[in-house]
Amino acid sequence: MGKGHRPRSGSLQFWPRKRAKNSNIRVRNWNVTKPSLLGFAGYKVGMTHVFLKDNRSNSLTKGTDICWPVTVIECPPIKIFSLRFYTKDNYGLHLAKEVLMKQDKELKRRINLAKKTGELNGIIIENYFDLRVNVYTQPKKTNIGTKMPKLFELGIGGRDIKQKYDYIRDKLDKELNVRDILKNGQFIDIHGITKGKGFQGSVKRFGVTLKAHKSEKKRRAIGNLGPWTPKRVSYTIGLPGKMGYHLRTAYNKVIILVGNDPSKINVRGGYPGYGLIKNDYVLVKGSIPGSKKRFVKMIEPIRGSKTVGNMELNYISLRSKQ
């Protein structure tokens, strides 16, 4: 007699299983902290491993060297495109005013450039509820093979809008570096787009068990499409379809190192599919979503700010990955 029940194949945590609209990731919530930009962006390079001495007082591995896999993210400087002033009512935030800054010519690859910049002198800060910035990356300084910048919005930390404005006013028309925003040992959330897998069947897409060799017709298909009543196919049925290129968030990833010397991280022969790093970089424990050269966002952790503790970096593997 057959089994009456077994756990379903494929998680329903993420639904619908559809492709992201584009690679410019949208962040909907910000963890407001001390006056600072609440995130940064970079391009995924590849992976290597490091050795650290664990000096945490309550750790089971205290005083020993431990090995962690790390992902390398190259972070060229970003520039401010505009200041965005928001008002708030019962329906949420609404963009009330946007003031453009001096624009780089590379931006014309992404948008139509404005003929003149805005003025901040006549703005009454107290009339607005929130302040954010539009920033853009500079991929021309990397080896990823494109010059088209990414334009996206970043939140600003601070107890009120005046404190946010005082912080960002000194950063206008300047390049912003990752080492001024993210620190060693802190936790971050990483937003990225996963690898695209194309059209896949039920076995790969949902982990459905292969049918017995004596079963009728197909072997890599599901057993049935559900009950006779109701007379429709439920969305929970594991059917073939597009897989991958999904928007995903990796919570509480640990920053091992924020560095500015590429010679200390470039492996022999360069990273496969990427090449050599030429800008500031971030080492993050473990893997992150996406393929090589993909755009990722690193923001303050939405589940609370904390640090990994006293960890001493002793060794970074530079052995060839070819």
pLDDT reading at 52 higher than 90: yes
Q: Is the pTM here over 0.85, yes or no?
A: yes
pLDDT of residue 15: 81
Confidence class of residue 315 from pLDDT cuts 50, 70 and 90?
very high
- Tell how far CA 321 is from the center of its chain: 24
- Rounded mean pLDDT, 32-59: 92
pLDDT reading at 115 higher than 70: yes
Under DSSP, is residue 249 helix (H, G, I), strand (E, B) or coil?
strand
- Say what percent of the chain tops pLDDT 90: 67
253 close to 188: Cβ distance less than 8 angstroms: yes
- Rounded mean pLDDT, 14-30: 87
For 309, the token pair is 């503790």
pLDDT in tens, 231-253: 999 988 999 999 999 999 999 99
pLDDT of residue 170: 87
Q: What is the mean pLDDT of the chain?
A: 91
How far is 278 from 282, CA to CA, in rounded Å? 12
pLDDT in tens, 148-160: 999 999 999 988 8
184 close to 165: Cβ distance less than 8 angstroms: no
- Rounded mean pLDDT, 93-118: 87
Query: Closest by alpha carbon to 48, among 33, 68, 28?
Result: 68
The more confidently predicted of residues 13 and 272 is 272
How far is 185 from 187, CA to CA, in rounded Å? 7
Contacts of 268 (CB under 8 A, 6+ apart): 318, 319, 320
How far is 304 from 75, CA to CA, in rounded Å? 24
Q: Give the sign of the dihedral formed by CA 210, CA 214, CA 219, CA 224.
A: negative
How far is 291 from 38, CA to CA, in rounded Å? 24
41 close to 75: Cβ distance less than 8 angstroms: yes
pLDDT of residue 118: 79
pLDDT reading at 132 higher than 90: yes
288 close to 250: Cβ distance less than 8 angstroms: yes
pLDDT in tens, 262-307: 999 999 999 999 999 999 999 999 999 999 999 999 999 998 778 8
Please give the C-alpha separations between residue 257 and each of 55, 158, 218, 274, 312, in angstroms, as whole numbers.
16, 25, 51, 20, 10
Please give the C-alpha separations between residue 231 and each of 134, 227, 228, in angstroms, as whole numbers.
49, 8, 6
- Rounded mean pLDDT, 173-190: 93
Confidence class of residue 8 from pLDDT cuts 50, 70 and 90?
confident
pLDDT of residue 214: 85
pLDDT of residue 3: 67
pLDDT of residue 1: 60
Q: Where are the beta strands (DSSP E) in the chain?
A: 39-54, 65-74, 79-89, 92-100, 130-136, 151-155, 187-193, 196-200, 241-244, 247-259, 281-285, 295-299, 311-316
Residue-range domains of the chain with CATH: 42-75+182-195+247-322 (2.40.30.10), 77-176 (3.30.1430.10), 199-230+237-244 (no CATH)
Contacts of 235 (CB under 8 A, 6+ apart): 15, 16
- Measured in degrees and rounded to the nearest 5, phi and psi for residue 79 equal -125, 155
pLDDT reading at 166 higher than 80: yes
How far is 264 from 271, CA to CA, in rounded Å? 13
pLDDT reading at 193 higher than 80: yes
pLDDT reading at 112 higher than 70: yes
Query: Closest by alpha carbon to 39, among 282, 230, 240, 287?
Result: 282
pLDDT reading at 5 higher than 80: no
- Tell how far CA 264 is from the center of its chain: 24
88 close to 94: Cβ distance less than 8 angstroms: yes
Under DSSP, is residue 270 helix (H, G, I), strand (E, B) or coil?
coil
- Rounded mean pLDDT, 42-67: 94
pLDDT of residue 191: 96
The more confidently predicted of residues 136 and 115 is 136
